[in-house]
């Protein structure tokens, strides 16, 4: 796989919530943190997404906000 997005985080699917149209995919990355993504049900099926499968969270955004604790 070769894509232009620089933020590619490898992880393992730990939870799937399948709806009528969309599927929530929860990916556990190194260190135990989790990333959640909503994709179409059709895309999840086409990619063969299932619990335990290794996948990439690919983040492509035009804006990233930064916050601090006060």
Q: Would you say residue 66 lies in a domain?
A: no
> Cβ(1)–Cβ(44) under 8 Å?
no
* 30 phi-psi bin (left φ>0, alpha ψ -120 to 50, beta other): beta
Vertex 3: Cα angle to 20 and 22 (nearest 5): 5
Residues 6 or more apart whose Cβ sits within 8 Å of residue 26? 13, 14, 15, 16, 34, 35, 36
Q: Would you say residue 1 lies in a domain?
A: no
Q: What is the CATH number of the domain that holds 46?
A: 2.40.50.100
Write out the chain's pLDDT in tens, 70 residues: 788 888 899 999 999 999 999 999 999 999 999 999 999 999 999 999 999 999 999 988 878 788 999 9
- Tokens at residue 61, please? 């955004």
pTM: 0.85
Overall number of domains in the chain: 1
Q: Would you say residue 14 lies in a domain?
A: yes
Range of the domain at 34: 7-58
Q: Would you say residue 26 lies in a domain?
A: yes
């Amino acid at each position: 796989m070769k894509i232009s997005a620089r933020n590619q985080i490898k992880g393992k699917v730990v939870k799937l919530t399948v709806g009528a149209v969309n599927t929530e995919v929860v990916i556990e990355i190194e260190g135990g943190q989790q990333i959640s993504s909503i994709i179409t049900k059709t895309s999840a099926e086409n990619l063969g997404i299932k619990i335990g499968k290794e996948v990439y969270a690919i983040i492509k955004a035009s804006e990233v906000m930064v916050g601090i604790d006060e």
